[in-house]
């Protein structure tokens, strides 16, 4: 069984990192995973450009290329990085990232903020993101989302919302989503199709909503491992054919 040594999980939302743990635990059975975290100071303007510089410094310090994985805004960062430094990336996996890669739960939050209170929107967002939960869990999730509004790298605010048009990614790409995700719906995922290369893949989980990698970690891990194995098999075949 092949062990993947060069996997890097990107995290730009400290309060949401808990939802990545089941997937990382599942992947760790067949992969060595590093976690890269970017902490956005609440008093500073959110800067994707600065995060790209910091990420590039880290990857250069490791002296190797990585399979990058990012959920939502972390996926956006990975996408922008892959476009700028494709030579440093083995592959990119996007979880809950639509063809407009800037769309995240915060963009939905701020679109409703002019007409509704923050408390009402957060309460609604908990259902949209996680489905029905008991009252105690709802309150805990509201607190987590509130923290994410202040400390994540999301490029959105009450005053502006960013849009990133789709384009062909210059390295192998895996895009994963969930059929019942109300933030990145089926249309947003399918809009990737015109930009996928032969080596790329698009996969949707039956259920799990926006954090499907938390609710269905084994299924998502299976897709990632299959994707990485296919890339390795292609490289091995190319080397074999080159000998002849």
Predicted confidence at residue 234, as pLDDT, reads 61
Cα separation, 150 vs 147, in Å, equals 5
Give dist(CA 173, CA 171) in Å, integer: 6
Q: 11 pairs with which residues across the strands?
A: 37
> Token digits for 61?
């310090």
Q: Give me the mean pLDDT over the 80-85 stretch.
A: 98
Look at residue 241 in the predicted model and tell me its pLDDT: 42
Whether the pLDDT of residue 135 is over 80: the answer is yes
Q: List the structure tokens of 67.
A: 């399979």
Q: Does residue 104 surpass a pLDDT of 60?
A: yes
Domain map (residue ranges) of the chain: 4-103+164-243
Strands 201-205 and 173-178: parallel
pTM: 0.93
Q: Are 197 and 116 in contact (CB under 8 A)?
A: no
Compute CA 203 distance to the chain's CA centroid, rounded to the nearest angstrom.
Answer: 14
Question: Which residues have CB under 8 Å from 38's CB, separation 6+?
Answer: 10, 11, 12, 51, 54, 55, 77, 153
pLDDT band at 240 (very low <50, low <70, confident <90, very high): very low
Q: How far apart, in whole angstroms, are the C-alpha atoms of residue 79 and residue 166?
A: 10
Per CATH, is 4-103+164-243 categorized as 3.40.50.1820?
A: yes
Average pLDDT of the residues in 204-225: 97
Average pLDDT, the chain: 91
């Amino acid at each position: 069984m092949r062990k993947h040594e060069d996997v890097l999980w990107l995290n730009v939302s400290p309060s949401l990192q808990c939802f990545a743990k089941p997937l990382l635990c599942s992947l760790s059975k067949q992969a060595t995973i590093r976690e890269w975290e970017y902490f956005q100071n609440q008093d500073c303007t959110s800067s994707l450009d600065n995060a790209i510089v910091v990420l590039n410094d880290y990857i250069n310090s490791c002296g190797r290329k990585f399979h990058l994985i990012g959920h939502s805004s972390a996926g956006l960062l990975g996408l922008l990085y892959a476009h700028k430094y494709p030579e440093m990336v083995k592959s990119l996996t996007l979880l809950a990232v639509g063809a407009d890669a800037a769309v995240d739960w915060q963009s939905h939050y701020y679109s409703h903020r002019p007409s509704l209170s923050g408390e009402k929107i957060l309460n609604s967002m908990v259902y949209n993101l996680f489905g029905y939960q008991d009252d105690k869990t709802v309150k805990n999730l509201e607190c987590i989302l509130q923290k994410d509004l202040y400390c994540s790298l999301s490029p959105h605010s009450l005053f502006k919302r960013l849009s990133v048009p789709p384009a062909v990614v210059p390295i192998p790409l895996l895009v994963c989503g969930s059929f019942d995700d109300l933030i990145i719906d089926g249309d947003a995922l399918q809009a990737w199709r015109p930009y996928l290369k032969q080596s790329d893949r698009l996969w949707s989980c039956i259920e799990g909503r926006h954090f499907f990698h938390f609710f269905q970690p084994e299924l998502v891990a299976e897709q990632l491992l299959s994707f990485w194995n296919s890339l390795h098999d292609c490289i091995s075949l190319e080397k074999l054919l080159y000998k002849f």
